[in-house]
Amino acid sequence: MSNYNNNTQGEAKADFLSMDEVKIGLNVDYVKSLVNTVNASYGETFKQAMFLGQEVFNGIKWYNSKEGKLQREVSGIEWDVADMGREVYGLGKTQLYNYNKAYKATLEHFAIVGDYKEYVSNERKAGEDVQLTLKGFLNYVKEENAPVEDDADKSEVEASFKFGSIAAKFYDDGRVELGKNSIFDVENALLHMLEEVRKVNHESGHEAKTK
């Protein structure tokens, strides 16, 4: 979980949530209504939980999109996905990721919800006290050898380089992976590479042609 100044982020949060793009992208009001329904209901809990899973999945997808990142930068928001789930939807980290996993399971195995409902129905006919629940569904998915990787917070490599024994990767969330290298080693390697490029550019005459 990221650390941030409460006062500064409080103002940023208000600004962030006031944007129409954010309200639409994260579908804030609808998700909150689903959260309240799931918490207050029993008979419809599983059905509503699956609806909520879809909205959480879409919200996370938007939050990690270029549009979402732009709105975060404009407002000065420094939340990771778990922070967003707590601050915007009122969901804990485990809750958020479980809803996300549940919906992803339906995308990867389109009949999985129907299979789970049939399983619960058969268990109840056999006298077992089994209910349709989100936790039960996730356990069923796992037992059916249909694991779902949770990549909500997974960042992607935007650029990488290797110069001799020096290497580094630059991710889209601003993280830099240096491996066993020091920042000083990487900086020197990049500067040396830049000088070599300038040298080749100058010797080829391309520099003069572009002036």
Count CB atoms within 10 A of the CB of residue 52.
Answer: 25
- Domain-wise residue ranges, the chain: 6-143, 157-209
Task: Report the length, in residues, of the chain.
Answer: 211
Q: Which of 20-34, 56-70, 78-92, 166-180 has the lowest mean pLDDT?
A: 166-180
Q: If you average pLDDT over every residue of the chain, what do you get? A: 79
Distances 198 to 68, 142, 169, 201, 211 between C-alpha atoms, Å: 37, 55, 23, 5, 14
**pLDDT tens digits for 4-39?**
455 566 778 888 888 889 888 988 888 888 887 776
* Maximal C-alpha separation, the chain: 85
Q: Report the distance separating Cα 199 and Cα 105, nearest Å.
A: 53
